[in-house]
Amino acid sequence: MHTVTVTQDDVKKISKLANLKLQDNEVNLFAEQFTKTLEVVNQLNEINTKNLNTTYQVNGLSNVTRADEVDLSRVLPQKIALREAQKTHNGFFVVERLIDSDAEELI
């Protein structure tokens, strides 16, 4: 059975993908824990799934659509939509600068 070792470099890469900053001790901790967790997951290889489809949705519904119409009862007024934001400016959300910023290059 193939085993998977999650390295500290893997953890650093995932944390970037997941947009999470980790403490140094967490990198090592998570690498060890993920390796152990995947050992449990790898027991699934004992089950032959060769002719089995995948199940993403269990109650048999598919292609549920609705009319392409604006439902005003579900539209938040601007003031309410902005209410919970930490930073706003002239009725807009303020986001971090991504272009020409000092942040490291994204993956």
Partner 1 sequence: MKPLHELTIKEVLDGYVNKDFTCVDLVRHFQSRIEKCNPKLNIYLALNENALEEAKAIDQEIAEKGITRPLLGIPFAVKDNFLTKGIVTTASSNILRDYHPQYESTVIEKIKNAGALILGKTNMDSFAHGSSTETSDFGPTLNPWNPEKLPGGSSGGSAAAIAAQLATVALGSETAGSIRQPAAWCGVTGLKPTYGRASRYGIIAMASSTDSPGPIAKNVEDCAIVTEVISGNDPKDATTSPSPVEKYTKSLYSPDLHGVRIGLVKEYLLPNMREDVKNLIYNAVDKLRLLGATVDEISLMDPRYSIGVYTVIQRSEVSSNLARFDGIRFGHQRDNFCEESKRRIMLGTYTLSAGYYDAFYKKAQAVRTKIVSEFDEIFKTYDAVIGAVSPGPALSVGVSKNQPMFGEMEDVLLEPSSIAGLCSVGLPCGFVDDLPIGLQITSNQLKEATAIKIADCFQRHTEFQLFPDLEKTI
Q: Which of 5, 7, 8, 38 binds partner 1 (CB under 8 A)?
A: 38
Query: HEC string of the chain?
Result: CCCCCCCHHHHHHHHHHCCCCCCHHHHHHHHHHHHHHHHHHHHHHHCCCCCCCCCCCCCCCCCCCCCCCCCHHHCCCHHHHHHCCCCEECCEECCCCCCCCCCCCCC
Q: Which of 86, 99, 102, 105 binds partner 1 (CB under 8 A)?
A: 86
By the rule CB under 8 A, 95 interacts with partner 1: yes
By the rule CB under 8 A, 8 interacts with partner 1: no
By the rule CB under 8 A, 43 interacts with partner 1: yes
Binding residues for partner 1 (CB under 8 A) = 2, 4, 6, 10-11, 14-15, 17-22, 26, 30, 33-34, 36-38, 40-47, 49, 52-59, 61, 64, 66, 74, 76, 80-81, 83-86, 93-95
